[in-house]
Amino acid sequence: KSPQTSWQHVINLSHSIVRRFLILWLIRSTIQDSEIKPVVPATVEVCSGSNATINCTFTTDSEGLKIRWHFNSSSRETKIYHNDEHYDRKNEKTWSALTIKEVTFNDSGLYYCVVIQDIPILKEYYSNGSQLNIHTQPVLQSSMLQKQPRFVVNVL
């Protein structure tokens, strides 16, 4: 081989390495810039026997994300599956809603959502937890606790 041919080979190899480096750098930059932070409310209060809905919201431009829900009680941690009839799940691009049907005291615990991005690499983003508290009586808002005006009816 002539010296010019081997220099041409070195130059082509260098260009190939630089291109690969730039592609990897762009992918890494994109992943770091697209950090997803799912958020759920700190607590949800419901009456036993009613339905409870916990909303998970996040900001993203990514497509094709998957959303998973977990339940953590004092005795166990459980992944909530799509086919479980005790739960309804609705997923959209930037939010998910988990409805727990006809709650009982066994449903009390910490719920959190996980947003899964699997392209270009697998990353899971966990929300803060949402504590579900179950009450035996309807939860009264503070405005409902104020005294109601009394009416006096005089009978003649």
Q: Is the dihedral of CA 19, 20, 26, 27 positive or negative?
A: positive
Letter for the amino acid at 54? I
Mean pLDDT of 39-68: 95
With 90 as the cut, is the pLDDT of residue 7 above it? Answer: no
Does residue 97 or residue 20 have the better pLDDT?
Answer: 97
Q: Which residues pair with 68 in a beta bridge?
A: 114
Letter for the amino acid at 12? N
Reported as a single tens digit per residue, the pLDDT across 120-140 is: 789 999 999 999 999 997 656
With 60 as the cut, is the pLDDT of residue 145 above it? Answer: no
Q: Strands 87-91, 130-135: parallel, antiparallel or unpaired by DSSP?
A: unpaired
- C-alpha distance from residue 122 to each of 14, 19, 116, 118 (Å): 30, 23, 7, 4
- pLDDT, position 29: 47
- pLDDT, position 63: 86
Contact 27, 117 (CB under 8 A): no
pTM of the shown model: 0.66
Reported as a single tens digit per residue, the pLDDT across 65-105 is: 999 999 998 778 899 988 899 999 999 999 999 999 999 99
